[in-house]
């Protein structure tokens, strides 16, 4: 199993990207992930390349943890609203991968190989994601979350405007589909509450 990213595409397509679309990364990260995909193919043998997007968890550096911290420190947040993708929890991604590997169809294909997209269902903007995080934080004094354009928030590396990936091939071939992104986020917070306030994934 090799995990890749939506960043292998340039984000100019109007609809979700399929596995048949030609990669055209905008930045060094996307180019490095595409090079990883190519290296896996060249090695040969059984392999599954899973492209995912906007991954978050209770550890490391990711958008969800950054927004949680900023919500505690600010009364107003300005968040990009013109980049669209599917926030995907690391927990849901792990569960989906385990389900994929348990499929008889995978076991039967000793030489299984290929690229598949695996993200949470649905899509939203970074602003929409931040707004849902704020709602689930249940703050007594919620911060105001202001939508802005990407041009108002310059970053060192260019980012795709459309990060939506079609999961249809994965569903058709193996019958595997992750929950909607809102359900994944709800599950993340439910596990956090059950853990006595400690975030889990």
By annotation, the residues acting in catalysis are: 29
Strand, coil or helix: what is 133?
helix
Kindly give, in sequence order, each residue whose CB lies less than 8 Å from that of residue 8, ignoring residues fewer than 6 positions away: 23, 24, 25, 30, 33, 34, 37, 51
Number of neighbours of residue 174 by Cβ within 10 angstroms: 21
Strand, coil or helix: what is 65?
helix
- Round to whole Å and give the CA distance between 186 and 40: 35
- Round to whole Å and give the CA distance between 155 and 122: 26
Please provide the size of the chain in residues: 201
How many degrees, rounded to 5, is the angle at CA 55 between CA 52 and CA 58?
A: 150
DSSP secondary structure letter of residue 143: P
- Round to whole Å and give the CA distance between 25 and 65: 26
């Amino acid at each position: 199993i090799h995990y890749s990213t939506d960043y292998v595409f340039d984000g100019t397509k109007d609809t979700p990207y399929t596995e048949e679309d030609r990669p055209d990364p905008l930045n060094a990260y996307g180019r490095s992930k595409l090079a990883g995909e190519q290296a896996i193919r060249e090695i040969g043998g059984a392999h599954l390349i899973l492209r995912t997007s906007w991954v978050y968890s209770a550890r490391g550096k990711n958008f969800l943890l950054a927004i949680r911290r900023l919500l505690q420190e600010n009364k107003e947040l300005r968040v990009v609203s013109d980049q669209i993708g599917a926030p995907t929890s690391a927990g849901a991604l792990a569960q989906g991968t385990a389900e994929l590997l348990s499929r008889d169809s995978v076991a039967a294909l000793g030489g299984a190989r290929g690229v598949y997209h695996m993200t949470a269902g649905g899509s939203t903007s970074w602003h929409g994601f931040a707004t849902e995080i704020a709602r689930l934080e249940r703050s007594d004094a919620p911060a105001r979350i202001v939508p802005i354009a990407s041009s108002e928030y310059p970053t060192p590396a260019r980012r795709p405007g459309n990060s939506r990936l079609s999961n249809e091939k994965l569903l058709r071939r193996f019958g595997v589909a992750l929950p909607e992104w809102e359900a994944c986020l709800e599950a993340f917070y439910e596990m956090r509450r059950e853990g006595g306030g400690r975030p889990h994934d």
